[in-house]
Amino acid sequence: MSSAESGQHDAESIAEEGPRILLYSDHVDTREQVLLAVGRRLGKGQPPIRWVEVATEAAVISAMDEGLFDLLVLDGETGKVGGMGLCRQLKDEIFECPPVLVLTGRPQDAWLASWSYADAVVSRPLDPIEVQRAVADLLRAPADAV
């Protein structure tokens, strides 16, 4: 199965089109904080990031069925189905699942994020520099290293 079929774009595709990121949170303020922290591009001269914002587990599953993503940002504090449980489900069910950044409610929850197979964790309060760095690092990482 190719990386495009499995849910990830290759580095050449990201360079040409810009990364496609799925952002899951039921809190509009959290989504806004992430969007502002990361910005419109990873850096000067880079193509724009293509964000897909969703607020429900069903929307995440539907988006994953329909589209290719280079990164998932999942809010661990989302009600009903939190980002950590959803991360674990996606990592278990999707061959070569894209890297996942989980947002936790507090630093002490980092161990739970590791249980969920998250590739990176950022705790609240969200530090814009830390969020941007985590997103950039995950998008630059070779697919087999994640």
Residue-range domain boundaries for the chain: 3-141
- Residue type for position 40: R
User: Which residue has 């947002």 as its token pair?
Assistant: 103
pLDDT at 16 (0 to 100): 75
CB distance 80 to 57 below 8 Å: yes
Lowest mean pLDDT among 23-37, 45-59, 104-118, 127-141: 104-118
pLDDT at 13 (0 to 100): 54
pLDDT band at residue 113 using 50, 70 and 90 as cut-offs: confident
Given a cut of 60, is residue 5 above it in pLDDT?
no
CB distance 143 to 110 below 8 Å: no
Q: Show Cβ contacts of residue 11 under 8 Å, excluding neighbours closer than 6 positions.
A: none
Given a cut of 80, is residue 127 above it in pLDDT?
yes
> At the topology level of CATH, where does 3-141 sit?
Rossmann fold (3.40.50)
Q: Rounded distance, CA 79 to CA 92, Å?
A: 21
pTM of the model: 0.87
Q: Rounded distance, CA 23 to CA 37, Å?
A: 13
Task: Select the more confidently predicted residue: 5 or 14.
Answer: 14
Residue 49: which of 76, 71, 67 has the closest Cα? 71
Task: State the average pLDDT over residues 17-30.
Answer: 97
